[in-house]
Structure 1
Amino acid sequence: MRKPRPHRGATINPVSDRFNLAAREADGDWLDMRDMIDGPPPPVRTTVQQLSAKTIISHNKSPDIPFDRSINPYVGCEHGCIYCFARPTHAFHDLSPGIDFETKLFAKPDAPRLLREELAKPSYRCAPIALGTNTDPYQPIEAHWQIMRGIIEVLSAYSHPLVITTKSDRVVRDIDLLAPMAERNLVSVAISVTSLDPRIAMTIEPRAPHPERRLAAVTKLTAAGIPTYVNMAPVIPAITDHEVETIVARAAAAGALDVSFIPVRLPWEVAPLFRAWLDEHFPDRAAKVMATIASLRGGRDNDPAFFSRMRGQGPWADLLRTRFDIARRRHGIVRRAERLGLRIDLFRPPPGAQGDLFG
């Protein structure tokens, strides 16, 4: 096995044969042997290519997801979270779900324009748009591309509701846009806090902001009147589950309206990446971690079934839910069956092409 790349999540960069991703011949690349000769591999540079899309709103019909549409301004994510369920999507681009997913990124700079065009269609019906459900819209490259800010500007201009999920404190940059939307009940934000231990956080999420910065973002957002939640997603058995009560307490102190969780999911190529990561960073407990995950997932690495994929099954999952419920009550968090409903009646579509001519 190759030595892990500095400051990257995946320890390997395997190819995938699910989408006919071409594998290299074993002796066809001298780089395969370089690590054995020269020692640790050098850092990998992040590259970004522009991706031309015809549409920007993705739709889903999943019964266990509380939204039916989303926008992903970026493909791949530099945060490098080893557990990321979006990693397999990189195989669609003939790239590895491993290190390629963290280093070979795609940006959609036309997203704000495409969004405006889709909102202007006579057939469009308003419902909250989710951002950050696949890859993080506030990952480091957003500082340069600012696609997320452009998207929010469009949604704000036409009073369209949105839900943001991120593990970056960069979201506070857009408080000037989000606070006025919150006054009209058009936005909510969820901040992901997986671990408060910086040593664990930098291992599982190597390029995501420090956990304390994320909690500080919760405080700033709530102070600005923006409904903000905390997600402990995922919870990793024997690595982060001991932090449940502490994270709930810190989230409540920061002003979070609720704290939710999802047990770790390992779909498709994520499972072997996660196993390799465990062997590198937590060899002392790798077997225990995978055994507990199997107990959560019906004896497998992953359970793709609706509903159970999000909450797990069996005694460990039941105990986890009980611990969260007790911690919520202890800290004055009343769990909501649904998060605050966002308004859709304020939406006013952009003028169409003909309207622009006479505007």
Structure 2
Amino acid sequence: KLTRKCLEIIDHYGFGATVQTKSSRVMRDIDLFKSINDKSKAVLQMTLTTVDENLCKIIEPNVSSTKERFETLKAFHEYGIPSVVWFSPFLPFINDTKENIDGLLKYCIDAKIHGIICFDIGLTLRDGDREYFYNQLDKHFPNMKERYIHTYGNSYQLQSKNSAVLMRRISDVCRKHGIMFGVDNVFSYLHQFESKTKQLSLFDKIQ
């Protein structure tokens, strides 16, 4: 409960807070998030990658399912706590599809999230990461490793061929539904401290 203890200190001193997670366990501390948000600002940041729950278990093992994370986002909204969703990673040839993006966007719309962060449709592979990733491809997606090697070689950045179309799709849907989009926009929002302490006007009577 180290995170909860940190939130208790933040709440006590009136600071703002944001937590980035893939776990619905953050629900345990929703009372503190609400208390912090009532006085200053609290934002939940949640990662979503795929609406396919079976695929989620493969590419994001040992974390909450996408449905559980969606339910968490909804609960935070009901408590009046804003949330930001990270779309990442998107694996070329696996979850970089319009169907997947539209499914994730529907979750975001239904949960009434505040903003979406998505740098690109794709992923990055450092040395060491690449070897592990390719081993997992061999384990779960036979012959996919060869497709990656043929398409990307040893590139650090593996951009989906669908990136431009899907990024446009995300932008259009966000604009339609009033969801903040654009990395700079969302990061600026996250860094804004919004104190909710009532300021006295010249005509307020001091008790």
- TM-score normalized by the length of structure 2: 0.79
Write 1 or 2 for the structure with the bigger share of helix.
2
Question: Take 2:125 and 2:23, find their aligned partners in 1: how far apart are those partners?
Answer: 22
Residue 116 of structure 2 is matched in structure 1 by 259
Structure 1 residue 230: deviation in Å? 1.4
Query: In the TM superposition, what are the counterparts of 1:290-305 in structure 2 within 5 Å?
Result: 290=149, 294=152, 300-303=154-157
* Aligned-residue identity in percent: 24
Are the structure 2 counterparts of residues 332 and 214 from structure 1 closer, same or farther at C-alpha, using a change threshold of 3 Å? same
Residue 165 of structure 2 is matched in structure 1 by 319
Are the structure 2 counterparts of residues 173 and 252 from structure 1 closer, same or farther at C-alpha, using a change threshold of 3 Å? same
Structure 1 residue 216: deviation in Å? 0.2
Are the structure 2 counterparts of residues 197 and 265 from structure 1 closer, same or farther at C-alpha, using a change threshold of 3 Å? same
Residue 203 of structure 2 is matched in structure 1 by none
CA contact (8 A) 2:88 2:118 kept: yes
Are the structure 2 counterparts of residues 313 and 213 from structure 1 closer, same or farther at C-alpha, using a change threshold of 3 Å? closer
1:339 aligns with 2:179: no
CA contact (8 A) 1:190 1:229 kept: yes
Q: Deviations over 1:150-169 (max 9, x none)?
A: 11111111122222110111
Q: Deviations over 1:109-135 (max 9, x none)?
A: xxxxxxxxxxxxxxxxxxxxxxxxxxx
1:248 aligns with 2:105: yes
RMSD (Å), alpha carbons: 2.5
1:236 aligns with 2:82: no
Residue 61 of structure 2 is matched in structure 1 by 206
Residue 280 of structure 1 is matched in structure 2 by 139
Question: Take 2:194 and 2:165, find their aligned partners in 1: how far apart are those partners?
Answer: 37
CA contact (8 A) 1:195 1:240 kept: yes
Structure 1 residue 318: deviation in Å? 2.8
Q: Deviations over 1:320-339 (max 9, x none)?
A: 32232123234442436232
Give ranges in structure 1 of 5+ residues lacking alignment: 1-145, 304-311, 347-359
Residue identity matched to 1:196: V
The correspondence for 1:164, drawn from 19, 23, 26, is 19
CA contact (8 A) 1:290 1:301 kept: no
Number of residue pairs the alignment of both structures matches: 188
Structure 1 residue 175: deviation in Å? 0.9
Question: Take 1:313 and 1:278, find their aligned partners in 2: how far apart are those partners?
Answer: 17
| Greater RCO (Cα-Cα under 8 Å, separation 6 or more) | 2
Give ranges in structure 2 of 5+ residues lacking alignment: 197-207
Structure 1 residue 186: deviation in Å? 2.3
Q: Deviations over 1:186-214 (max 9, x none)?
A: 22111111111111011111211111110
